[in-house]
Amino acid sequence: KEASSTLPSCAMCHKHTAIYRCPRCHTCTCSLDCCRAHKVSRSQSVCNGKRDRTKFCSLKGFTDTQLASDYHFLEDVLKVSEGSKRLYKGLVSGTTSSTSSTKRLRVDASSGGGKVAFDSISQAAPMHPLLKARDGKSV
């Protein structure tokens, strides 16, 4: 009983002792219902219930959990960076997997029993619509 008197009361219902804390804004809640009510009531503000991974953490507060979170954050940044590089190279070289000529060849192959006539394959590399717009060509 003595330990519960030092814990804060729930910020949502103000009836029970808070045992949960929002990772984003540190609002104290007592139950899952109050936690959900907190997220709904704060939906227009900056609190989404997820910890801000870019927030400064002092050396005193830096734990193994924080290190693991930072490591995963950097992996995610690297994954997005590499994906955008591949997308850019595909746009510049004109090779994307969803071009209309690729789709047409797949349809021809499926309807022709797996055979595609060589004359249906164009030699010119297709240009991506964004690159056409940049060059002033119609889409």
pLDDT in tens, 81-135: 888 888 777 777 765 555 565 666 566 666 666 555 555 555 555 566 656 655 6
Which band of pLDDT confidence, cut at 50, 70 and 90, is reported for residue 1? very low
Helix H, strand E, coil C: the string for the chain is: CHHHHHCCECCCCCCCECCEECCCCCCEECCHHHHHHHHHHCCCCCCCCCCCCCCCCCCCCCCHHHHHHHHHHHHHHHHHHHHHHHHHHHHHHCCCCCCHHHHHHHHHHHHCCCCCCHHHCCCCCCCCHHHHHHHCCCC
Quick: pLDDT tens for 4-51. Answer: 568 899 998 999 999 998 888 888 999 999 888 888 875 556 578 888
